[in-house]
């Protein structure tokens, strides 16, 4: 509905259909904090995939689910963002995320790694 910026950040106003709003949300106190996941949608209602691999790699390395994948599949012990970044560098054969911009081999290795992660994540989710 609206997006504006104030001194502390961005304020996003959303509109939710009455049939889709959780009753708990209506009953909760004003000021309760919630988390929301958003993805831009294609015309067929599927999520738009990231085209900016540099940005995607940065977001992935901060994602706790990616850390859990590293722990489960690659035997990393309590991985941090730094260790996740090093894993991406090693897997893609790069020394900086910006190399994902023009290095086709690195892009292919990154795409393969993301596919493996996404497959694991879908299998790991309870619903």
Residue pair 122/116 in contact (Cβ under 8 Å)? The answer is: no
Domain extents in the chain: 53-124
Q: 6-59: per-residue pLDDT in tens?
A: 998 888 888 888 888 888 888 999 888 888 877 888 899 888 776 789 999 999
Quote the mean pLDDT of the chain. 88
For residue 62, what pLDDT band results from cuts at 50, 70 and 90?
very high
Q: What's the CA gap between 124 and 121, in Å, rounded?
A: 5
For residue 115, what pLDDT band results from cuts at 50, 70 and 90?
very high
For residue 85, what pLDDT band results from cuts at 50, 70 and 90?
very high
- For the chain, give the number of residues: 127
Q: What's the CA gap between 95 and 105, in Å, rounded?
A: 14
């Amino acid at each position: 509905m609206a997006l504006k910026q104030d001194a502390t950040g961005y304020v996003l106003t959303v509109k939710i259909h009455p049939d889709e709003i959780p009753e708990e949300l209506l009953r909760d106190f004003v000021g309760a904090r919630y988390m929301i996941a958003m993805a831009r949608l294609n015309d067929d209602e599927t999520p738009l995939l990231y085209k900016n691999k540099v940005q995607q790699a940065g977001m992935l390395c901060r994602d706790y689910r990616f850390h859990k994948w590293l722990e489960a599949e690659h035997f990393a012990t309590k991985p941090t963002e730094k260790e996740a970044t090093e894993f991406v560098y090693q897997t893609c054969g790069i020394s900086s995320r910006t190399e994902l911009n023009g290095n086709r081999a690195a892009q292919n290795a990154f795409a393969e790694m993301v596919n493996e992660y996404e497959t694991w994540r879908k299998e790991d989710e309870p619903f």
